[in-house]
Amino acid sequence: MEQELVDYITQAQKHGLAEFEIKQNLLNAGWEASAVEENFVFAKASENRPVSMGQNEPSRQAISENHKSSILPMQNTGPLNGQPAVKPAVQLVNSNIAISENTFQSNTGKGNFLKNKFLWIGFAVILLLGGTAYGYFSFFYVTPARVMDAYLKTKPPLASKTSYEVSYSLNLQSGDSSSTNPIILTMSGDGYTNLASSTNLESSSNIKFSYSFGSGSVSTGLKYVLLNNILYLFIGDIKKSLGATDEYADWLKLDLSQTQKTLTENSDKNSTSSPFNNKALMNKIAGIVQKAQIIKTSNYLAKEQVSGINTYHIQEQLDTAALNKAASDIIDAVQSDPSFTGTKITADQKNILSALIRKFQVKNFDLWIGQKDHLLYKTHIVTNFPSFSDFEKSSLMDSTFLGSAKEKSREAKRLADVRQMSTALELFYNDHGGYPEGVTGVPQNISPNYIGVWPQAPSPSDGTCTDYFNTYWYRSEGAPKIVNGIKLYQSYTLTFCLGGTVGGYKAGIAKLTEKGIEDNINCPATPDLCIGSRAKVSDQDILDAINKISFSDEIKIDITYSDYGKVEKLEPPQNSQDLQELFNQFSGSLSSFNQASIKPMALQTSLFISALAKIGSRN
């Protein structure tokens, strides 16, 4: 043990030097590493026991002839001239370095500086890498949110071209449940739009409609040009597919300014009750939609080219829960507004709407946005849709969602049946000089010569019609006469019932006579036979039916945008025919047709049918 080294180590530790700094100082002063390590052990041990210089203690000569040290006298001087006392210094024999208080402070600072130097260099490197990463992220790295934010802030040019295809896939199951027969309805085409004038939209498009089923397909086309508030429709392809003559021009035109004027007048009349004219309410609804964030950016997929333009391919998602809540909030906002005067939607009806929204899914919602101009260049959307096969199978759907359309179809058939029966009765009268006898509501001797089969009223009854008056009931009237063994009458009455207004005739019980149709007549029987009450379908029934509907059909929308800012000059087609004039002519033809003309027309029809019958008998 070298007591001098032990003392130095002890003094250095008291001055706050770390162990590695003390060792480094001793090594720099020329001491061997083994001696330094050995005396560090003794220095640590001396902290717990008194130090003695026994005979068994190793001498300096035993350590090294070339490394000797002596300790200077302890300079324990007190304060001098106000200066603080200086702690004793330790002099290393083989070094000119005297390790004193200042030396300790200097070495300690040097060691900390070396440590801090590496620390600050590391920190600077981290800052440099972080700044570089942030700069790359800010200016070069693509995130969906950044791309969408730039797209939403970019105002597109007012003129552009589009190419589109909208298809609806209807999956009908065949007898074999493992196979399906898809039916695809497609509308495709290309168009041009210029929104430079808010009052005079310019637009044109070539549209193709196609219907494909299995290996077969049918298609037709339509063109339109919108210029100076006049819509021009090209129906040449439709005429050709229907085998129509050239009685009408290939181009029809309709002045939309007059239509817009009519809509504006009606809007002004209903301005107090229409929520769309309430700016405060509309702003509130817009705030609900904006806050809901129904469309959310999902992923950045890739950099791709669309029509030679470098784009970012971004994937969006429809948040069904957000859409559901927004719909409910909008309903509440409209119904709570003082301007609302309609029938309020109940909580059960809101549940029905919510059930439909939950079933609705957007399978794909992709956008392609330009890398430089942040304009939209392509859209791809795929959604599910309620299966019509489910609608067809559900009687509840028949009475709710499809009920209105089928009711109108039944009403149209009732009116067509009545006119057919009227014609047959007039043909009978023309041949026999009277009307046939009625037995249990059916005229005799009229089928099959004058009508193939006496028709039956479609079922079920509609509106307030009862099953009793839903049937066609024929009754002969007046004194009969017998001609060639057949009872003939000079008048008759055929009662029937219309559930709704159709063909200009009001809903209710009606009758057909030789004079024509008389609608909305008084009840010819007891009230219980005339007025029916159809059982209403409950909201819960509708909700249960919706839950059973499978949204297995599919709608696909693909739109490509191009030629932003390129303005085209549209020309009005030549030799176009005014559509409003055709409507007026058609309306005039209908107004000139009255019930008094039925009998002459029936007579002419009778002669024509008789002639055909004779020709047929000869062949």
d(CA 556, CA 545) in angstroms, rounded, equals 26
Mapped onto helix, strand or coil, the DSSP state of residue 273 is coil
DSSP state of 32: -
> What's residue 248's pLDDT?
66
- Identify the H or E element spanning 610: helix 598-618
Q: For residue 135, give both structure tokens.
A: 């700069």
* Structure tokens given for 512: 């057909």
Q: Which of these, 103, 125, 113, 98, lies nearest to 16 by C-alpha position?
A: 103
| pTM exceeding the 0.85 threshold for the entire prediction | no
Largest CA distance in the chain: 167
C-alpha distances in angstroms, 470 versus 77, 269, 459, 508, 515? 131, 39, 8, 10, 22
314 with 148: CB under 8 angstroms? yes
Alpha-carbon distance of 200 to 230, in angstroms, equals 9
- Helices (H) then strands (E): counts for the chain: 19, 23
**Tokens representing residue 259 in the block:** 């239509």
What are the φ and ψ backbone dihedral angles of 30, each rounded to 5 degrees? 105, 0
| Per-residue model confidence (pLDDT) at position 29 | 75
| CB 367, CB 559: distance < 8 Å | no
Rounded CA-CA distance 465/470 in Å is 6
Residue pointed to by tokens 């129509």: 244
Determine the pLDDT at residue 533: 58
Give the CA distances from residue 22 to residues 3, 10, 75, 94, in Å, rounded to whole numbers and listed in that order: 16, 10, 22, 16
Query: All domains of the chain, ordered by start, with CATH?
Result: 3-119 (no CATH), 147-397+553-562 (2.50.20), 401-536 (no CATH)
pLDDT of residue 616: 41
Geometric angle at alpha carbon 109, from 108 and 110, rounded to 5°: 90
Mean pLDDT by 10 residues, the chain (619 residues): 76 76 77 78 66 44 40 38 42 45 46 53 64 50 79 91 92 51 87 87 91 79 89 80 66 81 58 64 90 85 91 91 92 88 85 88 93 94 83 54 71 93 94 94 92 91 86 93 92 92 89 92 83 64 78 92 93 85 65 45 46 41
Q: Determine phi and psi for 585, rounding to 5 degrees.
A: -65, -40
pLDDT at 172: 64
Report strand pairing: 251-255 vs 576-578.
parallel
pLDDT score recorded for residue 34:
77
